[in-house]
Amino acid sequence: MQNPETPPDAKISIRGLTMAYGSFVVMKDLNFDIQERDIFIIMGGSGCGKSTLLRHLIGLREPAKGEVFYDGKSFTKTDEEQRGDFIHRFGVMYQSGALWSALTLAENVAMPIEENTKLKRKEIDELVSYKLSLVGLAGYEDYYPSQVSGGMNKRAGIARAMALDPDILFLDEPSAGLDPLSSRRLDDLILRLRDSLGSTVVIVTHELASIFAVGNNSIFLDTATRTQGAIGNPSELRDHSDNPAVRLFLNRGDESESSKA
């Protein structure tokens, strides 16, 4: 667990973060670091505050207390202009972040590029084709979301989140609703993208297979105590966490496995 007094030096540092909706405190006293090129998992039971934490990391909600830092610079205590500079480095795929159904896959990926750059049509088209090829969708530029599978929609969503070459990719429940095989392919894609692009990836998920397949570091949000239950590599936490709630979660509720630590 991080000391709240330690000067932040990681890619993302969370210090003394309390998150609330009005008087309802979702989580308190979160202290952790996310290192460059981590695939960092935010995990925990339903309603524990995973998406809320993601919203705090990308600036959609303000902390009730505490601060979020990027590369040691405060994201919380900054002016609008500087905050915009931070946000331009983020690529986000929201849980409900379905593609625009009236637009083709290429048009969906092109949208953030058109809105944020002055590139010419031909350059945008080339960039879009490149992004779609990175997620295995070369040749599907002119398809509409309804004409391709759920897994392909998710991959196109990732291509859209990566459109502006983000430094940090945030994915909210990327494998929700996918069959195990598509979910596995998506995990492989996330690992490949991290390795080839060098991005830091933050994923909200409660899919255990994905947690172990891609996560090198993680935080477990504990509903019972309303604070972080553990930080660390998911496989190590599953086998050795001193918090029974964490072991129980990572062993799919199997008491015999979770009592071995």
Three-state DSSP class for 143?
Answer: coil
Distance of alpha carbon 18 from alpha carbon 53, whole angstroms: 10
Shorter beta-carbon distance to ligand ATP: residue 137 or 211:
211
Instruction: Find the shortest distance in angstroms from Cβ 52 to ligand ATP.
Output: 3
Shorter beta-carbon distance to ligand ATP: residue 44 or 166:
44
Cα radius of gyration (the chain): 19
Which of 4, 9, 21, 130 is the binder for ligand ATP (CB under 6 A)?
21
Shorter beta-carbon distance to ligand ATP: residue 31 or 205:
205
- The C-alpha angle 80, 39, 8, rounded to 5 degrees, equals 50
Element spanning 194, H or E: helix 180-197
Element spanning 258, H or E: helix 255-258
Site string for ligand ATP, 168-207 (x = CB under 6 A): --------------------------------------x-
Whether residue 52 contacts residue 26, with contact meaning beta carbons closer than 8 Å, is answered with yes
Residues between 25 and 84 that touch ligand ATP (CB under 6 A): 26, 44, 46-52
Instruction: Find the shortest distance in angstroms from Cβ 53 to ligand ATP.
Output: 7
Instruction: Find the shortest distance in angstroms from Cβ 254 to ligand ATP.
Output: 20
Instruction: Find the shortest distance in angstroms from Cβ 56 to ligand ATP.
Output: 10
Burial bucket for residue 137 (CB in 10 Å: 0-12, 13-18, 19+): buried
Which residues form the interface with ligand ATP (CB under 6 A)?
Answer: 21, 26, 44, 46-52, 206
